[in-house]
Structure 1
Amino acid sequence: MIIIDAETSAFSADPAFVLSRPQRTVTASAGGRVFRSAAEAAAALRSRRVSHIVGALPFTPGAPAALWAPETIAVTDGPRTPRALTAPDIAITDNLPEPEEHVRRVGAAVRLLADPVHPLRKVVLARKLRARADRAVRAVDLLDLLVSTDPAGNGYLVDLSAAGGVYTGRHLVGSSPEILVRRLGPEIISHPLAGSARRIPEDPVADRIAADSLLGSAKDRHEHGFVVDHVADILSDRCTDVRIPAAPGLTETPAMWHLGTTIGATVPATGPTALELADALHPTPAICGTPTAAAAGLIAELEGERGFYAGAVGWCDADGNGEWMVSIRCAELAADNRTLLAYAGGGIVAESDPEDELAETTGKLQRVLGPLGVGGKAATVS
């Protein structure tokens, strides 16, 4: 494998993997050995048969992953510098499910959650919008449109072909604000998000009121607490010096406010790699629910297979360093390079209002579709 570490480096073809983050950008080619599970890939790293792994973990544990050891990889400081592009003409063709059905599903989930006998305490329910471009588009172009509209430069792209089967030729593109886990040397960071409010950027006063209301919301703090407890328990079993702030803070994205908690921990040099920690943490209650088995069962019943939405995207090296983001705020580009599936979900607890939850998914869908020129349509289809 060729490792490139230069700001001027370029690939002769479109990259198969990009993770753009404020501190650094990792860009990788396809090729090399493919791994269908995190355990198999982690074993190859530990034995130093490969120096890097990149790719994506699916939402459902045990489903085929899209992980590989790239032939070339570039690590550069700072976020990706996006190219100036004009968005293609993209039109929404389908709601999956229809908004009314999503409201009905949320209402049914709220009734389950309110039943003290039922084990479910939180579930994350999602919906999708299918859209079609008037011409073939490149996944890297969609990435640059997303990165250019994110103040922190967050963005990711993964060629899902390594998962095989129906994923051959598909790409996952998104701009996630949520760190599942980052390991650099002995230091571990996880920054789970749960509890959201739609932003009102055209009215700064109303936008600040929305943020403050979220920070003081008992319902959203209840939802957020499930995620913090899950992450802290997993890290406590594998790390030392787990550090948890007393209260969540606010995380700002172009479309949403989120409650977020930065959890720190320490691992010895021989401790779990970033990939192993990501595999252990996933799925968190932020994108699945709690208890995990009950929430995942209801999601499978109502939504079917999620694929790589609400999975994880990232990289890891043979020293255990790496970073994995929760794969939200994303769309899957089909092999025809014209059809897109955009995803958004929300955490449901007993206090949730179904209409508010629908509005939350609409706001999250705008983060993906807005930069592609269909934000207004995304707001009105529901």
Structure 2
Amino acid sequence: MTISVTGTAGEGTARQQTTPFVLSKRHLSIHAPGSLDSFDDAHEAAAQLREGRIPAIVGALPFDLRSPAALTVPAALHRLPGPWSAALPSGSVPQCVVLDRIPSPDGHLEAVGSALRRLRALDDPMTKVVLARSLVLGADRPIPPMALMHRLVANDAAGNGFCVDLTPAGEPYTARTLVGSSPELLVRRSGREVSCFPLAGTAARAADPDQDAAVAQSLTRSVKDLGEHAIVVEGLRKSLGALCEDVRAPSSPSLVAAPALWHLGTPVTGTLRSEQSSALDLALALHPTAAVCGHPAEEARDAIAQIEGDRGFYAGAVGWCDAQGDGEWMVSIRCGEITADRRSIRIFAGGGIVAESDPEAELAETSAKFSPMLTALGATEYAWA
């Protein structure tokens, strides 16, 4: 059954979008076509939502919240049970080839080495930083965003997927689209109940079942990965505690299976002190977590900016919020940004660096995290045009 929530923003007329907002999850899919208004200021959008001046908001938050957001007031907000299962859109995903790697593998190793020198220095406050790299892929015909998302959802056991028009952020994002298949929940709000499910600590899966099981068990005993995960959970507990009472989290993480990876994950829950805090307010308060940034957040964010430059919407958040304040925001990982002409896409992958990290292992982790996007695009990392 489809539930539709519609509303108007001022006296504006709904505008059609080339690419509607879609967020697919195991339990629920959101389809938000049309646009009544848009915001590049996430805090202004959150304020108008609290004041009842807009009926809903969907879209994407950037990694650095000082940068423009891409948020839309949709003409309709459709809730559908289960993963996205609409008919396959017209146009197929063309086979893509890797055109560039930013930085090169050697460049990423150098960046990790530089970070490790800081992390191992006794007088440096930074204890974790998440470093990413990207691949630029090209195609001989346009890449249809909805068709790519459809393929990502079909390839993911949990049905994860999202598609977001980045036009509201302005140049250089006009007509660009963010598409991905994120397994990581930043925050969900339902009434006063709040839940988060951070992922930190990763291992590439093996084809052989016995070897795969051994990889999983090794991850649960990894001092490096458990330490990295603990930093993330503690940071979320602290941030959530400022807005919630009865914040709860298990004492140890659980294994989370993805098609190409094992993750360590911990559910963190709480009860809102005030129902005035919407899902978007919560996302703005919690983002970026140590899972995509590091600790302390300010030092890690500055280090990322120095090493990588502007991340844009990678490692930001994608989600929705309705007039009651309920909603869900996913961390925008396992994703790519399709250019305005749709002839190329830049995909991203990162990993948490702590003092115990090994540069070669970190490089391999990013390669494994490229897998969902590369598979959907019919490409491999080292297949050059």
Give distance in 2, aligned partners of 1:76 and 1:330.
Answer: 23
Q: SS of the counterpart of 1:166?
A: coil
Which residue does the alignment assign to 1:8?
none
Q: SS of the counterpart of 2:247?
A: strand
Give distance in 2, aligned partners of 1:373 and 1:127.
Answer: 20
> Which residue among 15, 23, 26 is the counterpart of 1:22?
26
Which residue does the alignment assign to 1:40?
44
> Which residue among 187, 197, 201 is the counterpart of 2:203?
197
Measured after TM superposition, the shift of residue 72 of structure 1 is 2.2
Q: SS of the counterpart of 2:129?
A: strand
> Which residue among 81, 84, 97 is the counterpart of 2:85?
81
Give distance in 1, aligned partners of 2:383 and 2:72.
Answer: 40
Give distance in 2, aligned partners of 1:38 and 1:87.
Answer: 32
Give distance in 1, aligned partners of 2:171 and 2:185.
Answer: 29
> Which residue among 364, 367, 371 is the counterpart of 1:362?
367
Deviates more, 1:293-302 or 1:74-83: 74-83
Which residue does the alignment assign to 2:330?
325
The TM-score normalised by the length of structure 1 is: 0.94
Give distance in 2, aligned partners of 1:78 and 1:62.
Answer: 34
Give distance in 1, aligned partners of 2:271 and 2:23.
Answer: 24
Give distance in 1, aligned partners of 2:166 and 2:262.
Answer: 30
Which residue does the alignment assign to 1:154?
160
Q: SS of the counterpart of 1:158?
A: strand
The TM-score normalised by the length of structure 2 is: 0.93
Q: Is the 8 A contact 1:93 1:131 kept in 2?
A: yes
* AA partner of residue 137 (structure 1): I
Q: Is the 8 A contact 2:143 2:344 kept in 1?
A: no
Give distance in 1, aligned partners of 2:129 and 2:79.
Answer: 37
Measured after TM superposition, the shift of residue 308 of structure 1 is 0.1
> Which residue among 367, 378, 381 is the counterpart of 1:378?
381
Give distance in 1, aligned partners of 2:30 and 2:92.
Answer: 24
Q: SS of the counterpart of 1:270?
A: coil
Work out the number of aligned pairs and report it.
Answer: 371
Are 1:226 and 2:228 an aligned pair? no
Residues 85-141 of structure 1: CA distance to partner in whole angstroms, max 9, x if unpaired? Answer: 854120100010100110111011111101111111000000000000110121101
Q: Is the 8 A contact 2:50 2:276 kept in 1?
A: no
Measured after TM superposition, the shift of residue 37 of structure 1 is 2.0
Q: Is the 8 A contact 1:362 1:379 kept in 2?
A: no
Closer, same or farther: CA 188–379 of 1 in aligned 2, 3 Å: farther
Give distance in 2, aligned partners of 1:264 and 1:235.
Answer: 8
Q: Is the 8 A contact 1:14 1:140 kept in 2?
A: no
* AA partner of residue 76 (structure 2): T
Q: SS of the counterpart of 1:104?
A: helix
Which residue does the alignment assign to 1:4?
4
Give distance in 2, aligned partners of 1:182 and 1:240.
Answer: 16
Give distance in 2, aligned partners of 1:328 and 1:365.
Answer: 10
* AA partner of residue 142 (structure 2): A
Unaligned runs of 5+ in 2: 6-14
* AA partner of residue 41 (structure 1): A
Residues 155-204 of structure 1: CA distance to partner in whole angstroms, max 9, x if unpaired? Answer: 0010000111100000000000000000011111100011100111x211
Deviates more, 1:85-94 or 1:319-328: 85-94
Q: SS of the counterpart of 2:94?
A: coil
Measured after TM superposition, the shift of residue 83 of structure 1 is 4.7
Unaligned runs of 5+ in 1: 6-10
Alignment of 1:173-184 (within 5 A): 173-184=179-190
Identity among equivalent pairs (%): 49
Q: SS of the counterpart of 2:126?
A: coil
Give distance in 2, aligned partners of 1:82 and 1:72.
Answer: 16
Deviates more, 1:364-373 or 1:301-310: 364-373
Give distance in 2, aligned partners of 1:174 and 1:270.
Answer: 31
Alignment of 1:71-110 (within 5 A): 71-81=75-85, 83=87, 87-110=93-116
Deviates more, 1:107-116 or 1:323-332: 107-116
* AA partner of residue 214 (structure 2): I
Which residue does the alignment assign to 1:140?
146
Give distance in 2, aligned partners of 1:379 and 1:344.
Answer: 15
Which residue does the alignment assign to 1:116?
122
Which residue does the alignment assign to 1:241?
246
Closer, same or farther: CA 82–218 of 1 in aligned 2, 3 Å: farther
Give distance in 1, aligned partners of 2:41 and 2:230.
Answer: 29
Measured after TM superposition, the shift of residue 55 of structure 1 is 0.4
Q: SS of the counterpart of 1:165?
A: coil
Measured after TM superposition, the shift of residue 237 of structure 1 is 0.8
Measured after TM superposition, the shift of residue 30 of structure 1 is 3.6
Measured after TM superposition, the shift of residue 12 of structure 1 is 8.6
Give distance in 2, aligned partners of 1:13 and 1:160.
Answer: 11
Deviates more, 1:21-30 or 1:344-353: 21-30
Give distance in 2, aligned partners of 1:293 and 1:269.
Answer: 27
Give distance in 1, aligned partners of 2:46 and 2:80.
Answer: 24
* AA partner of residue 131 (structure 2): L
Which residue does the alignment assign to 2:340?
335
Give distance in 2, aligned partners of 1:36 and 1:82.
Answer: 29
Residues 33-78 of structure 1: CA distance to partner in whole angstroms, max 9, x if unpaired? Answer: 2112221111111111111100000001211100111112211111
Which residue does the alignment assign to 2:64?
60
